[in-house]
A = this chain, B = another copy of it.
Amino acid sequence: MSTVYDALSQRKSHGESTVIRVIGWDIGGANVKAARLLFTGGRAESGAAIRRYFELWNNARDLRRLLQEIYSDLGRADAMVLTMTGELCDAFNDRAEGIAHIIDAARGAAQGIPLYVINLDGLLIRLDGGEVDLLTLAPTNWIAEALVLATRQPDCLLVDIGSTTTDLIPIVGRKIAARGKRDIERLVHGELIYTGVLRTPVTAITSRIPLRGTICPISAEHFAVSADVYVTLGRLQPEDYTCATPDGHEKTRQGALRRLARVVCEDSKHLTVGELHAMAAYIAERQIQQITEGMFQVLSRFENGHCLPVAPVGVGAFLGETCAKRLGLAICDPPVLTDSGSLSLSPCAAAATLLGEAISHP
Q: How many copies does the complex hold?
A: 2
* Chain A positions 287-326 with a Cβ under 8 Å from a chain B Cβ: 289, 292-293, 296-306, 326
> A272 at interface (Cβ–Cβ under 8 A)?
yes
Known: A275-B300, A278-B299, A285-B326. 11 other contacts (CB 8 A): A212-B301, A213-B298, A213-B301, A214-B297, A272-B303, A274-B303, A275-B303, A277-B306, A278-B300, A281-B306, A285-B292
The answer to whether A211 has its CB under 8 Å from any CB of chain B is yes
Q: List 11 A-B contacts (CB under 8 A).
A: A189-B213, A210-B293, A211-B300, A215-B297, A274-B303, A274-B306, A275-B303, A278-B300, A281-B296, A281-B327, A285-B296
Contact across chains for A278 and B298 when beta carbons are under 8 A apart: no
Nearest-CB residue, chain B, relative to A274: B303
A343 to B281, CA, bound (A): 36
Report the minimum CB–CB distance from A205 to chain B (whole Å). Answer: 14
Q: Which residues of B contact A304 (CB under 8 A)?
A: 274
Query: For A210, what are the chain B residues with a Cβ–Cβ distance below 8 Å?
Result: 190, 293, 296-297, 299-300
A296 and B282 in contact, given A212-B301, A301-B213 (Cβ under 8 angstroms): yes
* Candidate in A210, A277, A285 with the most chain B CB atoms within 10 angstroms: A210
- A159 → B minimal CB distance (Å): 16
Instruction: Name the distance in Å between A270's Cβ and chain B's nearest Cβ.
Output: 14
A314-345 interface mask toward B, CB cutoff 8 Å, 1 = contact, 0 = none? 00000000000011100000000000000000
**Measured between alpha carbons, how far is A358 from B242 in the docked complex, in Å?**
62
